[in-house]
Amino acid sequence: MSTARRVVLITGAARRVGAAIAQRLHAEGFDLALHCRGSMTDMQALVGRLEDVRSGSTLVLQADLAAFDRLPELVAKTVGHYGRLDGLVNNASAFYPTPMGMATPSQWDELFAVNARAPFFLAQAAASHLRAVQGAIVNIADIYADKPRADLAVYAASKAALLAVSRGLAVSLAPEVRVNAISPGAILWPEGGIDPDVQAGLLAQTPLGRVGDPDDIAGTVAWLLGDAAGYVTGQVIRVDGGRGIG
Per-residue exposure over 13-28, b if at least 16 CB sit within 10 Å of its own CB, e if not: bbbbbbbbbbbbbbee
Number of H helices, E strands in the chain: 8, 7
Q: Which of 82, 96, 144, 155 is catalytic?
A: 155
∠ at Cα 67 (163, 187), nearest 5°? 40
Phi, psi of 88 (to 5 degrees): -130, 125
Residue 82 among the catalytic residues:
no
- Non-local (6+) Cβ contacts of 195 within 8 A are none
* 238 strand-pairing partners: 183
Instruction: Give just the sign of the alpha carbon dihedral 189, 190, 193, 198.
Output: negative
Active site residues: 155
